[in-house]
Structures are given as structure tokens and as C-alpha cells.
A and B are shown apart, each in its own frame.
Chain A
């Protein structure tokens, strides 16, 4: 059995799975249930000055009958009185001293408010604080949340205020609603943050009710931009994460990965791209806390299979495998191969390649089943046919190098090689 223990800035948890700051971590009752189910830690729902929420708060998009592949909310930070939240945090800490308790904060935009909030949280005995610079709605209008995260100058200033009083680890949560997360991350580090987390939700409109014409969620006939999360955002989150992991200045601090994590595979991917631990929100909201069993179990089995004894053995291993386009080997070439024994003659590869790719699949019509084979000289190795094929390992991509030597675009240009090989 591999060891799943995680140590994030000295904050220990029995596994690397924390619940992200959101409704699942809003109250003692939720958090106790989460810890009973086995979650390693929580980031308590963001505390700040009292706000008021609207009714009708979430919406989602489904795909192919699967519900909530993308999730959207227009909730603000915690709408419960600060004192109750702080009292409950103390109670939970007493009941589950072995779990990570991080508290998310978004104070009013002045030094004193931040100082006061940080102190109040530290008084509970919490293990760390996450600065919420990422909430994309509601708070922005009040000069908080994403507005802070979107302006590196302000972000740096706020982190500095916090660091003036903080005695426990400070994690700065970044907003994805920017062109690049790198400047914000650098600013936070310059301000003194101990760690980073990302992503918060992405501004979105999930859809429109085609009867009422009101986008959802519908609040009395109107809607606003919401924050998008869930499985659909994972690829975007992974990309943002990698830009941090590759930056020499930034990768000195640990990063907590967030965004669409639903399965242990997602978690492994975040960690391979440099996240020291991960946070989950939507998957728990959609399927309940019980998903922690398979998150831990699946990761554990994979680690055993690969021989990783601790999570540190594999964190970041995929980062060097992301390079710049111009450094890719242009002599690397693959072609599709259809395993005729596995083929079920659905024709999806054929029509995909024929209509939208390179007309590289031959068809031999039959009744009722057609046969499909690859016309290798035409195949560019785009993977489309393999992607659409419904049968596992029916289409494989076979390496057929164009030359022994590895040659990238820069070298290619230098040598003035012929461009068009069609």
C-alpha cells in the first residue's frame, strides 16, 4: 500500500484530497460528514463581511445525457454570520485534529479588515488561510475577489497586508479569468504568500431556457454571469497549473490544484503537472462525499502499480513533458491502424476522416457492414479516427518516423527544408 499522506506547507492530511472552499465546506454539519467519509482536509467556505445570496443559484450543462459536466454558480462568499463560522471551525478542529483545516478569506479592501480577519481565523487554531482572489461574481462589483486577483498590483498589496500579521501558512487562490495566471502568481509570491492554489471558477453563461429566453440560473426573469467549474474546466485548469509549474520563480512555492477533479485519474494528472495536493468541489456536490473512497483507492492502486511509495514520488513528473511547439520533433510520424478483428464497422472513423480530416480511410461497401482500412500515405496522424472510435484499442497509432534524426521547427527552418509534403 502506497502512502497517501500529504504535507502542504506543513499542513498535514491523511490524503491529498481537500474539499475546496464552497458549499460542501460551508458548515460544521457538512465538514463533519466529509471527514467521516474520509476527506483529508477542507478549505472552509470563504469568510468575509456579511453578504446576502439570491435564490436560484446554480445551473449546469449536460452532454449526451450525462448531467452536470459543467457546473455554474452565482453564489457569493459565506452568508452565515462570521462568529458562527469561527465557532464551528473550532468545534470541528477538536473532533478531527488529524485533518487539514484551512480557512478561506475575503476581507473588505483595507489593511485593518484583513488584519482583523486573519487574527480571528488564527485564534480558531486553523492550520492555514487561503486568500480568495478568485470569486468571479458579485464580489467584483464590491472591489473584492477577482478584481483583486485580476490586478497583480492590488493582489501583491493585499498579500503584504496579510503577511504582516499571519503566523500560519498563507495560500493565495488565483482567478482563471485572466489572460495568464503567471503575473498574479508572481505578485502574490512577491507579496510573501507561502503557497498558491488554482483555479477558481471561470466566468460563464451555461445556457438559456428556450421557452422563457432567460439564461440560467433564472432569478426572477434575469440572470448574471456565473462561475463555471466541474469536469468541463479540467483541461483549462491543467494548462494554467502547468504555466505556474514551469515558471522558475513560481514553482518554488507549493500549488494546490483545483478545477474539475472528479476521479483519481484527474487528481493524478494535476499532481503530475505540479500540484502538491488537490481540491474538489463540484464532484462532491454532484455525487456526495462518498466519492472520496474511490479517489483514495484508485490513486493508491495506481501508485502501487507504478511503484510510487509517496505522492512526492510523482508530483511534477509530467511538467518537463510539456514543451514549446517549435521544439517538437517534426520527423516523428504516426499513422492509424485499424484492428480488423476488433472493428465493429460503425464507420465513425471513416466519416470523421472523410468529412473533416484527410480522406485517409478506404471504404469497401457491404451489406449491412462496410469494411474500413487506412490509406497510409494520406494519413497525417491526427488521431481523429482513434478519438471517435468507440472500441478500445481498435484503432492504434503506429510510429512510422520520417527520419532517424529528431528535427524541430527551428532546425527545420535553418536548413531551409521543403515545407509542403502533400
Chain B
């Protein structure tokens, strides 16, 4: 057993990381699907979209050949509507609420339709938004992720001059560095950032890190308001022996590499254990398999009923050939010559519901050991506690606290996205950015 790269041919890598949800290849497909839409009143899909996209309207616009109108309907509610059409867990959002579900019929393919028009706007750089004349107010945004970009766009549109400070060399946040490679292409992420910035009035300073290059206090001095959209950091530690062995990886860094390096350069084990059952765990497991791991075992401390990922995500992992050990919690990672050799787990059973309402896992006292050469940790992400604590901003273990008007306890400092909610979806971050922009405008004008 060994960890190695270059496990597959070039063609296999391409095949394994190609678009998992192919688009409508022909207008006919989109039009047939658009016409299946019932155009509900006070539509459940719209109500189930965190950004409240007027779904019946944009679908109707596809059916009447008004694609620009359709793209504008989507993007004015959700400026990352093209990306969201590929990464949103729609089965628990819009499509999950489609009334066709109540007829036991296939819901409208809302995401696929959304992609159909929104992606065209990005690729063809349709000029759908116009910036109002500058009003002489300056806002600093930290983080060019979905929250920061959505906030920036909404502010720039109203004539605010925006400066974004971003620690990486590209925008998009976890869209560019986190989301599974088979869901979005790097090109689309780049194009989407360009599209958002094309409204004008937004300057991005890349490779500038809060806490190293500048402080929140600096920004407060130089700008009329500040928005913090820095997201959350690497995966939580397991706090068990053996975590420092070679072959123990954090899912966020592992996926970061997949998104930023050539796939054949990424090392993967023969037998990989992935700890956790959230979306990130699924992405780490499926992409391990797609990189050529022989066996991928997902380990989760509760049962399938309590899983935090959606059924659709779990099915992807199943189809990719991952296996699952339910009711197991890592106890120790054992090594040989400093390298991972096996993982020991506690067998769990379900007890009373915990704070999340799900039955809590309790140790049975029994353990088991399985041989693996790689362990990927994916049990939630750690907020940037150090950076946050350099300032006076109020937080809960690193998660920034905001009030109803999206404001932190610091004057003129607002926050939103993963940095506040601890890690949800892109679409939630976009809405948080929009909400904060609204609050900032109220604060400034």
C-alpha cells in the first residue's frame, strides 16, 4: 500500500473530472423542459431559494425565447446564479419544493434551465447591469468569495467605490478552491468573477491578507464601511492520536490542490478513509476515487438517516464505488515509519436527540481497526479564530456575530457568508452578501 500520483491516463483524468451535470445540448431540450413548468403562483421553488430567484419568470422567459431577460431575472437575485446552477444542492432547495414532487413526477430541472440562460450571460458577457454614478463613498470588502463578490456587485451598482482584499491570487473563494472539480470548471469560475467585476467600480487587490498585510482597524480608517467575507479555514482536527502521521490530510487542503494543480500530480492512497458525511466529505471521497484510489471508505458516527449530506450527494459517492461504515468514530490513527497504516474506530450506537435534533452517537466500548494508507478529515471547517481575535470583533469560537442589520459590534463593519454561519452553501453566502450590501447602503446613505 502506498500513496502515489499519476495513477491514471490523461483521458481517465479528463473523463473523471468532466461536468457531472451536463447542460442542455440543444435549445429544444430547454424549451420542452421550460414548457413543462406550471408557472406556479407564489412559487414554492422561489420561496425555497435562499436568494429568492423568480424561478417561474426566468423559466417563462426561456420558453418565450427571451434569454437575456431570463439571465437578468436570475442574476439580479443571485449574481452567482450560473455557478449556483451547478453547485446548489437543489434537491433540498428549489427542485425539492417543485410541486411536481407532490404528483410523484420528476421536478422541473430548475438548475439546468438556470444554467441554460445564466451561463450564456457569463460566456457572452451580456451587459445586463449598469452602475449608477459614483456617489463618493468607499467600502472595503475582505474576501473575494461568493459573499464578498455579491456584496461588491450590489454596492458597485449603487455607485459605491469598492475595494476587495483577497488573500489568494484569484477570486471566487471556495467556488474556485473548494467545490468539486466535476461540478464547475476553472474557466467558468474565472469568467464569472470577470462578469461580476465588469460592472465597474470594483478594484480587487489580490494576495493581500487580513491579519498580515492590514487590520480591520486600518480598513475602518480608510473606508466608509467594511464587509468581512473571509469564509472559514481548513477542516477541524479530530483530536486523536496519530493525526500528524504522513498520509493524514485535511479535506480543504486536499481539494484546494485538486482545484489548483494538475490532477496527475495529486497523490492519493490505495485505501483511503474519509471521516465525515457532509458535502465536503462526499467531495473528498468521490474525488479520491476519481484520482484512482482503489478503495475509499467513508466513516460516519451516526447512521444514514442522520447524514448531513443530501441523498443525491450520497448516491454520487455510492456510484463512484465508495463504501460506508456507519456508526463509527475514529479513535486513533496508527502508523509505521511515520506513515499511516491503519485507523482504529469506536463502534457507536444512537442515543437521545442532541441539539441538532438528530440522535446523538454514543460509544459502545467496542472498537475495530482497518488498514488504510490515507485518512482525509472532513468533519466541518475551523473558523479563522486567530485573525478574528486580532480585532475586537465579537464572535462565537471564531464565527463572527452580526445583528439583524448584518453589522458586527464594530462601527461600520459588516460580515456575512461562511465566516458568520460557519459553513453553508454558495447560495447562502450570496444572499448574505446581498443583505449586507443593503444594510451598508442604509448605513451610508
Contacts and interface: CB of A to CB of B under 8 A. Distances in A.
A66 B38 CA distance: 15
A347 B32 contact: no
**Chain B interface extent, by class:** 20 to 34
Given A348-B39, A368-B97, A65 B102 contact: no
Interface string B43-87: 111011000000000000001000000000000000000000000
Interface string B97-141: 101101100000000000000000000000000000000000000
B38 A65 contact: no
Interface string A324-352: 00000000000000000000111110110
Interface of A is mostly: loop
Interface string A384-411: 0000001100000000000000000000
Contacts of A66: 35
Contacts of A347: 40-43
A293 interface: no
Nearest to A346: B40
B34 interface: yes
Nearest to B65: A210
Given A64-B63, A367-B47, A346 B38 contact: yes
Contact of B44 (A64, A65, A363, A369): A369
Contacts, number: 45
B44 A368 contact: yes
B31 interface: yes
A368 B101 CA distance: 13
B40 A348 contact: yes
A189 B102 CA distance: 57
Contacts of A365: 42
A346 B41 contact: yes
A64 B44 CA distance: 22
Residue picked from A344, A346, A350, A351, most chain B C-beta under 10 Å: A346
A252 interface: no
B32 A65 contact: yes
Nearest to B33: A65
Contacts of B102: 344-345
Contacts of A391: 103
Interface string B14-50: 0000000000000000011011001111111101100
Interface in A90-133: none
Contacts of A64: 35, 63
A65 B35 contact: yes
A368 B48 contact: yes
A365 to B, nearest CB: 7
Contacts of B44: 345, 368-369
Nearest to B94: A368
Residue picked from A351, A363, A368, A370, most chain B C-beta under 10 Å: A368
Interface in B179-214: none
A65 B59 CA distance: 13
A347 B99 CA distance: 10
Contacts of B38: 346, 348, 390
B100 to A, nearest CB: 8
A397 B66 CA distance: 37
Contact of A344 (B31, B48, B63, B103): B103
A324 to B, nearest CB: 37
B103 A348 contact: no
Nearest to B45: A368
A390 B103 CA distance: 10
A368 B97 CA distance: 7
A351 B34 CA distance: 20
A218 to B, nearest CB: 19
A344 B99 contact: yes
Nearest to B32: A65
Given A65-B34, A344-B99, A346-B99, A351 B47 contact: no
Nearest to A63: B35
A346 B41 CA distance: 6
A7 B45 CA distance: 56
Given A344-B103, A345-B102, 20 more contacts: A65-B31, A65-B32, A65-B35, A65-B63, A66-B35, A344-B99, A344-B100, A345-B99, A346-B99, A347-B41, A347-B43, A348-B40, A348-B41, A351-B41, A363-B42, A367-B47, A368-B48, A368-B97, A369-B97, A369-B99
10 contacts: A66-B35, A344-B99, A347-B41, A347-B42, A348-B41, A367-B47, A368-B47, A370-B42, A390-B38, A391-B103
Cβ-closest 10 pairs across A and B: A347-B41, A368-B44, A65-B35, A351-B41, A344-B99, A344-B102, A368-B47, A346-B40, A368-B97, A64-B35
